[in-house]
Amino acid sequence: MNRKNKNNIHMEDRQGKPVDSMALDDEKRIKILSPGLLVFKRFIRNKLAITGAIFILAMFIFSYFGGWLMPYREDEVFTKYVDMSKVYAAVSENTEYKFITTDNTEFPMIARSQFVLASNNDRNLFESQGVSYSIEKLADELFVVFNTREVAVVSIILGNTNVALSDPSMGPSFIERLEEAVDAGEETFTYNDKKYLLVQGKKNYLAYELEPLALATLNRYDFISADISVSYDFAFAMELAMHELMETGEKSRLITVGGVEYEMEVEEEKASIYLRNNGDRTLYANISRYLVESIYQDVFISIDFKDQVKAMMSEGVEGVQDFVYVNIDGEEEEYTIERNNTEWVIRWIEDTLVIKAYDPPSKEHIMGTDGNGMDILTRLMYGGRISLMIGFIVVVIETMIGIILGGIAGYFGKWVDNLIMRIVDTFNSIPSLPIIIIIGAMMDAQRVDPKIRMIYLMFILAFLGWPGIARMVRGQILSLREQEFMIATEATGLSVSKRIFKHLVPNVIPQLIVISTLSLGGVILTESVLSFLGLGVKFPFASWGNIINAVSNVHVMTNYLFVWIPAGFCILITVLGFNFIGDGLRDAFDPKMKR
């Protein structure tokens, strides 16, 4: 009698027909449940199993629907603007000579250092890399460097002056001038607008032709625009004028360089140069001992700003001092200045774009962000998908291998069973975690793509995980095949594959479900351990294991609990859920164990 008929009878009974003639063992009195329903009833009576089912359902909804609802992507990096005090410029007193060379000449670095040595030792001639140079001291810490060429040797023997020219192009008038200079005891002389130097040797004089090369000064020139650079002629005139003004105590003076009229005003050790144009004057440059340099290559610091800074420094800076600079557009900019040994550091507050690393939970990021500035909640959801997916795929593969090999071994017995069981024993003895670690380390070194890596991981886990299932299937089938229904299948002449997979395997399904559910939890655990070690699922893919990986940094472990605690509980709850369900299913399928 099938179920439908039974129900019909029942319905008729309820429609008022007398039922007094029903016997105690009448079929109608007993509510017959299908085996599946029985298992289900026993399952839902188990509180732990229900808890587990709720856990798993919750994790599924969380991972799949959550990831779908979340507005963020798995690997979306969040950034924010932060006011950061950054170094803007540094000010220092200039202690190194700046060399302002004439047009189209070169003053090599080595020669520059030779100059410093020579000037410190008060020598006026020095040589570098086969080139001779001479120095003329204009004032304290102000020199002109010349390219020097020997032109003549003047020897005086018994009152007779004898001139040997190195350069035959020099005419007799030059020799005359030279002799005159020697007689007068001049050190330098001019001839034809060129400067010459006379150096007295032991018995003779050496004459050198001087070609101006560079002006060496400790002063720095700040111009109103970044395009203007200082020229030799300009600097020469300005330095001289400035020096004279400081000596005489005058306040200002007019200077003409290259047809342009400038006005210089001197105050203490600073000088301002104005461009004069029909009686108007505009600021053109400043000269001072201070070097104000921005740490940014492309930033030109205006002359006003420099003036303001210099003024502050001459008043003396104590501690950290705030100041406001009004720029050309009339906007106020805030800076701080601080003395740092021989340097002054100017900082400003800058809006800086930074990654939101370890942002605590907020409205925008309910669970905060991780070290890469990614939303933890989103990553937990996607991580759940990956962990669950890996778990399911691995279990499906290992169950299939297990059913096939276990089924064949159990059904055929004898040497087939022996062979397969030895294979099972062999695989069972292979230490799986170390092998996966070795392969993971190797894939790390070979830079295997994270996606391909994940596929490898699944296959390796499945390949090493099937022996337990095969052993269980084989054991069950060994006992099942002795039962009457198997003799019946043999009698009806069913094919072997049909007998195994249609009649034997379905009878193993309850145990299979139990063992698969339990191994699902195990696979997820293994995967999380590997990802935690950095050898499993890799960035950019999220996995609960690799989220917890952040704790390898003790600072994160102690200060950012919100980064790793939720992921840990996700793993715990999921694995616990599978274990509760597996446990409950085992009890439900095998009531003998319970009662």
Separation in Å, CA 481 to CA 237, 473, 486, 496, 508:
114, 12, 6, 12, 11
Instruction: Count the Cβ atoms, other than its own, within 10 Å of residue 1.
Output: 8
Nearer to another protein, 19 or 438 (CB): 438
**From the CB of 592, what's the least distance to another protein, in Å?**
8
Nearer to another protein, 131 or 401 (CB): 401
Distance between CA atoms of residues 562 and 559, nearest Å:
9
**Within positions 240 to 259, which residues make up the interface with another protein, using CB under 8 A?**
none
433 binds another protein (CB under 8 A): yes
**Within positions 498 to 517, which residues make up the interface with another protein, using CB under 8 A?**
none
Give the alpha-carbon dihedral of 232, 238, 242, 248, to 10 degrees: 110
428 binds another protein (CB under 8 A): yes
Exactly one of 13, 96, 180, 425 binds another protein (CB under 8 A); that residue is 425
Torsions phi, psi for 100 (to 5 deg): -105, 105
- Which pair of tokens denotes residue 328? 């050309």
Say which residues have a Cβ less than 8 Å from residue 161's Cβ, sequence separation at least 6.
154, 155, 179, 182
478 binds another protein (CB under 8 A): no
Which 3 state secondary structure label does DSSP give 493?
coil
Binding window for another protein (CB under 8 A); candidates: 27-35, 259-267, 375-383, 554-562: 554-562
- Which pair of tokens denotes residue 580? 């509760």
Distance between CA atoms of residues 402 and 29, nearest Å:
43
**From the CB of 417, what's the least distance to another protein, in Å?**
14
Exactly one of 35, 258, 316, 434 binds another protein (CB under 8 A); that residue is 434
167 binds another protein (CB under 8 A): no
Prior bond of 361 cis (ω within 30°)? no
Please tell me the count of residues contacting another protein according to CB under 8 A: 45
445 binds another protein (CB under 8 A): yes
Give the alpha-carbon dihedral of 229, 232, 233, 239, to 10 degrees: 90
Exactly one of 99, 236, 564, 589 binds another protein (CB under 8 A); that residue is 564
Binding window for another protein (CB under 8 A); candidates: 124-132, 234-242, 339-347, 532-540: 532-540
593 binds another protein (CB under 8 A): yes
Pairing of strands 332-340, 320-326: antiparallel
382, 424, 411, 313: which is closest to 539 by C-alpha? 382
521 binds another protein (CB under 8 A): yes
Nearer to another protein, 118 or 567 (CB): 567
452 binds another protein (CB under 8 A): no
Exactly one of 29, 45, 422, 451 binds another protein (CB under 8 A); that residue is 422
Exactly one of 301, 376, 525, 537 binds another protein (CB under 8 A); that residue is 525
431 binds another protein (CB under 8 A): yes
446 binds another protein (CB under 8 A): yes
Distance between CA atoms of residues 538 and 341, nearest Å:
48
**From the CB of 34, what's the least distance to another protein, in Å?**
26
Separation in Å, CA 111 to CA 99, 145, 197, 312, 403:
11, 10, 20, 37, 87
Report the DSSP beta bridge partners of residue 338: 320, 345
**From the CB of 432, what's the least distance to another protein, in Å?**
10
The radius of gyration of the chain's CA atoms, rounded to the nearest angstrom, is 48
Nearer to another protein, 48 or 291 (CB): 48
Nearer to another protein, 309 or 470 (CB): 470
**From the CB of 415, what's the least distance to another protein, in Å?**
14
Report H helices in 413-504.
414-429, 432-445, 450-465, 467-480, 484-491, 496-498
Give the x/- contact pattern for another protein in 336-375, rule: CB under 8 A: ----------------------------------------
Torsions phi, psi for 79 (to 5 deg): -130, 165
93, 208, 204, 194: which is closest to 149 by C-alpha? 208
Which parts of this chain interact with another protein (CB under 8 A)?
47-48, 422, 425-426, 428-431, 433-435, 437-438, 441-442, 445-446, 521, 525, 528-529, 532-533, 535, 545, 548, 551, 554, 557-558, 561, 564, 567-568, 571-572, 575-576, 578-580, 583, 592-593
